Structure formats: C-alpha cells, structure tokens
Structure 1
C-alpha cells in the first residue's frame, strides 16, 4: 500500500507546479490585482515624483530663489554707497535748504569736526554755532544739535535751560570742507528783568540723536558775565547763517 500511494501524490505535485507557471505567465494581464508583481511597480512610481520635486532646488543656481533673507540683505546694501553719494546718485555740497538731500550719509565723527560758538554781530542775544566737516567725505548730523544753558560751576546740571526748537526731523548732510550753522537766541523778548541768573555757559552736542555721539563729546562755551537768558529759542541746521536765523525765528510756531 505504501508504494501505490506515492505515485498519485507525485502526479498532484507536478500539476500544482504547472498551474503556478501558467499563472506567472499571465501576470501582466493582472496588473491591477492586489497580488503578484504590481506592488514593486507601484513603489517605483511613487519614488519618481519625490526625486523630481527635490531636483530643481538642489540644482538651481545660487541666489535664484527669492527668499525673504536675500531681500533683506539687498535692502541693507546702502552701507556700500560711496561717501557723499545718495542712492539716486546726487548730493548737495552743504546740504539743501530743507536738510532733505544726502541724509543717507554716514553720521559725522566728532574727530572730523570743528565746533565753535560766537556772538552774532549786531544781535547781542543771538549766538551762532558752526560745525565744520574736516573729513574727506560727506557726513550727516541730527536736525538740531543738543544744546542747553547752565552754570559751569554747578554740580547739578539737570536744571539747565533748553531752548525752544524749530520743527525738523531729517538729518542734515555736511560735505567735506563745508559747515552747518545753527542760531540760538538767548533772550528773544529782549527783557532785562525776569531773566535766569547765573547762566554762564553754552553746552553743545552736535549730534543729538543719542546713538551716534556720546555725551562725552559735548563742547562747552563760556558766555559773558551778566548775560540775559529768558525763553531761548533755536533753529535747525542750515547751510548759511542767514538761513539759520530764519529757522530760529520759526521756533515754537
């Protein structure tokens, strides 16, 4: 019995193998079925879009992608503008009448400035502050200097008198070899009584924006004994003394 049963089993195995080969040969006609070889084909197709999507980013020329960081970097390029040149290519040697031209110029360095304050001829209560650029290129100052009036011997300078200012917000450009002028009137009313006693010093910080020039760069100018100080007023930087006087008369208006 043992020998008779082996032959049918062997024949069945041959039939099973043959059927399997027949199914394999028909595989391409069943590409949409869940079994067989379609799974590897689907995996390969899914990988191609991923490679294509990443290709342009890795192969793109440097700087071709307009990122926010690149735009910001370009926006800060004015630091490379040649001294004395504005982005539009024009400057005014001593600044324009309204202080609007060349305001992109770098802040002035106190080492490249001379500062002096003198009484204006024919106007006893008016003083002219002149700031001259001795550097090699145009630089800029705040619209007005920082000015106060006090007593040089006082230990507490916190109560020094500050002038009433004319309107002005733009920085003022000063070309090499040129000056900027400000006029201050210590006693516009001309009063001889009711004035502040003990004032003997005019203190000037030529750039008053607070970040460009430390307070240690303040210059001190002595005033005559008995000078009258009452509600002083001051203009903004101008290219000539005449323009500075006109600006001063508009202070507080």
Structure 2
C-alpha cells in the first residue's frame, strides 16, 4: 500500500521595517473520502530478533522500536472522525497496546491512550505492517488494506482511540501467509509527525493466520472500530 503524506510548511520572511506573521492551519475538519486502493509494500529496514508469542487474548505492550528506513504505513486512502481541534502528539504521552478481540479470533484491537494534558491529532489510522520478528529483511512485510478517507483523528486528553486489525477477514485456514508473528505500529502515520523510533512491535504468536489483512480507522469506541474495519475492502 502507498500513502500520500502531507506536511505543512511554514515560511517566515523578515522585511526591513515591517513584520509579517504567518499562521498554520489546524487539523482537517472535512472528510474527503476516496476510493480504496490495493495494499502495497513499503520498505522496512533490517531488525534484530525480539519478542515472543503473546498469550491468546491477553493485552500486549509494544517492545519498542527497531531501526527502519520508512515508518510502516497503510496503502489505501484513509479517513477518520476527529473531535475538537488538537495539536501534534508527543509519543511520550501515548500508551499503545494490542490485544485479541474476544469472539473474533482473527481480529486484534490496537488501543492508543492519550495520557497528556491536552488533545492531540493522529493520522486517520496508525501505520501498521506485519512480519516475522526473526527476519532481518523486513522489506516484504504485509500492509493491511484500509477503509477509505483522509481526515485526521483527534484524541482528547485522557481518552483512548481504538483501531481493529483483521488478520484474516476471509477466515481461511489454507493459503495463509506463513511465519507472520509480529505487528509493527506507529501511532501517527503522517510523514514526519513522529520519529521512526516510536514504532512499537507486538508479538502475534507463531500460529497466527494472516491472509489479505484489513484495518479500520481510529474510533472513540471498540464497537465503532469494529464497524470501521468491516467497511474495508476484502
């Protein structure tokens, strides 16, 4: 999958005898949904082996980042539903967890809690890819197919945003991708908003079945996140 990243550029010009003040635009407030596109692979650089299988259904905390050349990212156009205007997120204020969704064996829930004192904005979905923790070459990691749209998502102070990742929407037991045992997550996938060192690595376990994974958008409740992933193309 490929993501079009947008980065605001502020230019300050000093004129003799006069000052010119410039202001930056806040987060997007209008959903400009676009059609879904097939997933594509971004390059993720080599990494050492860490982590092991997580107990089924147990919440998992990321093991931290490994060096990468690109942050993991989704491929189709994204959208979200933000709240009040917020500012850039300091990754130190975010708590990120991954757990299995009860009653849905192929689904994983990514929770991003804002522990800071103010609201912050995130990309419509986190940057996510799936690979093998023991493989140094991560260039062929899988990216989930995403629900459509472009709007960023605002997380109020003390609140949690939810995203559902479906490893195998078809429920197939044959033809799945072998050796996938890890999910890599960057909370804000917008280019330049978070350092690559902020990528978190979550073990899936050696028996995880992965085939054409899909992912929804950040939502305020788990029920809304479940509905969002259901809208992603299969």
Q: TM-score per shorter chain, which class?
A: 0.5 to 0.7
**1:99 aligned partner:** 81
Unaligned stretches of 5+ in structure 1?
1-68, 80-85, 88-96
**1:179 aligned partner:** 160
* Residues 86-111 of structure 1, C-alpha deviations (whole Å, 9 max, x = no match): 99xxxxxxxxx951433x42111100
**Length-normalised TM-score, structure 1:** 0.62
**2:46 aligned partner:** none
CA distance in 2 between partners of 1:226 and 1:250 (Å): 26
Higher relative contact order (CA 8 A, sep 6+): 2
Supply the RMSD in Å over aligned alpha carbons. 2.4
Q: Which has the larger radius of gyration?
A: 1
| Runs of 4+ with >4 A deviation | none
Unaligned stretches of 5+ in structure 2?
1-18, 30-78
**1:120 aligned partner:** 101
Aligned residues: 167
Where 1:124 maps in the other structure, the secondary structure is: strand
Checking the alignment, whether the CA contact within 8 Å between 2:83 and 2:155 is kept in structure 1 is no
**Length-normalised TM-score, structure 2:** 0.67
CA distance in 1 between partners of 2:165 and 2:146 (Å): 9
Q: Quick check: 1:224 aligned with 2:205?
A: yes
Aligned with 2:148 (options 145, 167, 177): 167
Greater helix share, structure number: 1
Greater strand share, structure number: 2
Checking the alignment, whether the CA contact within 8 Å between 1:168 and 1:236 is kept in structure 2 is no
CA distance in 2 between partners of 1:235 and 1:155 (Å): 28
